[in-house]
Every structure is written in C-alpha cells, then in structure tokens.
Amino acid sequence: MANVVRIAQFFYLVDTNNNRYAFQNYFINDKKRIGSTVYTFAPFRAEGTVSNLTGDNALLQVLFPAEDFSIALAEQADGNRLTRLTFTTQWLNASDAMVRPPYEERYVGIGASISETTLELRFRSAMDSVGAQFPARTMTLQNVGPLPINSQVSFQ
C-alpha cells in the first residue's frame, strides 16, 4: 500500500471582543480536542503563505463556503480586522491518529471579502522581520564591551 499524506488543519480565531471560533477541516461530522479546545468540523481551505528575502509579512487566505456560519463569523469578528488566528497543521497516520508534533503558525486578521460562493478571510503573519529602515547602532566599547577585532568587526 502506498503511503498517503493525510493532513488536518485547525483554525482557532479570537476576535477583538474575545469571541473564540475553533474549526477543523478533516474529521467530518466529528469534533476533535487539542488541549482544552474542541474543534468542530467546517469545510475550509488555506492558501497563500509566502516568504521572501525582504522579510515582508507572510499572507494567508482562509476560504470558507459562503454559508450562514461563516458569514456570521465574519460579521461578529468585525470583518476580520485585528483578529488573532492560530493555524495548526497536523499530520495523520493511516488510521487518522495524530502523529508528530503539530506545526503551528500565528496570524493577525486584515480583512475579509465575500462572493456568491466563498468567504475569504485574509491574514498577515503576526511577526514582522526587521527591515533596512531599522535604525542602525554603532558598536562602541561603552555599549558592547571588549570585542575581538577582525575584518568583520571594527570600531569607529
């Protein structure tokens, strides 16, 4: 039998009013508990996480069908503005038991859009890298102490 990759995703959202939403997209008509959180089934798909050399925020879109529950989620969460998402990916074995530690990412909500068939929740990564505009600091003996001097470290 060929190895089959099975992946369950867990969506845990906290809005600005501290309302909490927990969904998973693998175990149909079932609830799964991770820690103290119970995740109910909801059909959703995640796409769009990217990284680049300039360190821009990674973007994530979570797509739900435009159904009553997902529209209510977006309305109650103020259009997904400043929500906090913990998105967990869990690998499963052939008997659907969770294996390996899960992969967890954190995002901040930046908006939502809706069409006739789809609700899109947009997020950016919660951590931002330091860019070139970050103020540089000159190393001196007063702020770093004694340093070995070589071709990569010099004092001004």
Q: How high is the mean pLDDT in each 10-residue block of the chain (156 residues)?
A: 77 94 95 92 86 68 94 91 92 80 88 94 77 60 67 57
Q: Does residue 45 lie in a domain region?
A: yes
Q: Does residue 30 lie in a domain region?
A: yes
| CATH number of the domain encompassing residue 110 | 2.40.10
β 45-47/59-65 pair status: antiparallel
Q: Does residue 1 lie in a domain region?
A: no
Residue 26 contacts residue 44 (beta carbons within 8 Å): no
Q: Does residue 52 lie in a domain region?
A: yes
> Is 21 exposed, middle or buried (CB count within 10 Å of its CB: 0-12, 13-18, 19+)?
buried
β 81-92/59-65 pair status: unpaired
Note the pLDDT of residue 100: 74
Q: What is the pTM of this model?
A: 0.74
Q: Does residue 155 lie in a domain region?
A: no
- Taking the CA atoms of residue 40, residue 46, residue 51 and residue 57 in that order, the dihedral angle to the nearest 10 degrees is -70
Strand-by-strand arrangement of the 118-125 sheet: 31-34, 37-41, 20-24, 6-14, 81-92, 98-114, 118-125, 59-65, 45-47
User: Where in the sequence is the domain holding 113, given as residue range(s)?
Assistant: 6-144
- The 3-state DSSP class for residue 133 equals coil
**Cα–Cα nearest to 82, from 27, 11, 18:** 18
Domain count, the chain: 1
Note the pLDDT of residue 136: 62
Q: Does residue 150 lie in a domain region?
A: no
- Written as six digits, the tokens of 98 are 């969770």
